[in-house]
Amino acid sequence: MAFLLDLGLESDIGPMTLSAILNPRGLIGDALAVLGQQAARRPAIALSAFMAGGLALLGAGGVAGSAITHQRLAQEAARTEATRAQAQRELNAIAARVGELQAQANRLNALGERLTRMGGLKDGEFDFQRPVGVGGDGEVRDMRKAELGTSLDGLARTLGTAGEQLTVLDSLLTDRQLSMDAVPSRVPVLNSYVTSGFGNRADPIVGGGEFHKGIDFSANTGDPVLAVADGVVSFVGVRSGYGNVVEIDHGNGYVTRYAHNSRLERRQGELVRAGEEIAKAGSTGRSTGAHVHLEVWQDGRVVNPRPFLQGALRG
């Protein structure tokens, strides 16, 4: 406005408003009309005013256009950042889902390896660490988000079903293993051999015939006497003819008796595992010397221990 005031045109143009500045076309039109009137009276002054005013108006229009362009760029940058943030959130959600599935797959691999060992499968028959072979000749294309979600859901269902099946199998094999552990299958003293078998024999003390209810194992006084299977100690004490005795109930109809011990090391009600020490060998009761006498009872009936020991016997 200063150049117009200097030229004495302020009375004709009047003060500029903000709306006029933001509308350069209207402003230029109004200025040209006023200058046209002034040109008739003072041509030289009007020409100078026209040139100076045109430059000022063009500058004002440029500033307004620059502000609008900057605002649009800022809005576009904000939309881009919002899109990027949303994509990152979706990627993080997929990564978390994949992590859950990977953990589930690792658990199944560990369970599979355990079942392989329990089942006595040959080495290499089931290798849960080696990736399986896959292939295909289909055309490769970009996968849509919905397809990826469907694939992850399907994989989760597959892993869930496999986990349920392996858990059932694990339970069955564990029960079978527990049952096998509860069946007499070990010798009651290490590095020994059988000195007297099961059945009819000549009585070693008074002569004549007798029925020997168990198997005698060679031992020295103080040698560890071991449980031949898992179970609970059902009796600890002295029995006529047997001397110091430990009896173990294996919970499946089997009871084992260990006789002629020099010392008893368990109490009634204790849980014992196969191979754990339960007494010290000796020669108490009707005995001619230190040894371990083992009996096996099945459903209340004494049976020959030899078939249960699965080749662990010597002599």
Instruction: Read off the pTM.
Output: 0.51
Q: Is residue 40 part of a domain?
A: yes
CATH of the domain at 256: 2.70.70.10
Instruction: Please tell me the chain's helix, strand, coil percentages from 3-state DSSP, rounded to the nearest 5.
Output: 45, 20, 35
Q: Are residues 242 and 99 in the same domain?
A: no
* CA distance linking residue 183 with residue 256, whole number of Å: 10
Considering only CA atoms, give the Rg of the chain: 50
Q: Is residue 133 part of a domain?
A: no
Q: Is residue 204 part of a domain?
A: yes
Report pLDDT for 106.
74
Report pLDDT for 267.
94
Q: Are residues 96 and 200 in the same domain?
A: no
The 8-class DSSP code of residue 220 comes to -
Q: Are residues 11 and 57 in the same domain?
A: yes
Q: Is residue 35 part of a domain?
A: yes
Q: Is residue 144 part of a domain?
A: no
Q: Is residue 216 part of a domain?
A: yes
Q: Are residues 207 and 173 in the same domain?
A: no
The 8-class DSSP code of residue 78 comes to H
Residue 260 φ then ψ, to 5°: 70, 25
Residue 31 φ then ψ, to 5°: -65, -40
Q: Are residues 162 and 209 in the same domain?
A: no
Q: Are residues 176 and 200 in the same domain?
A: no
pLDDT by residue, tens only, the chain of 315 residues = 444 444 444 444 444 444 444 455 555 555 555 555 655 555 555 555 555 555 555 555 566 667 788 888 888 888 888 888 888 887 777 777 777 777 777 777 776 776 666 666 555 555 556 665 656 666 767 767 777 778 778 778 877 777 776 776 666 666 666 666 778 888 999 999 999 999 888 877 766 778 999 999 999 999 999 999 999 999 999 999 999 999 999 988 899 999 999 999 999 999 999 999 999 999 999 999 999 999 999 999 999 999 888 666 654
Q: Would you tell me how many other CB atoms lie within 10 Å of the CB of residue 263?
A: 13
Query: Total structural domains in the chain?
Result: 2
Q: Are residues 213 and 156 in the same domain?
A: no
Report pLDDT for 72.
86
Range of the domain at 255: 194-309
Q: Are residues 93 and 213 in the same domain?
A: no
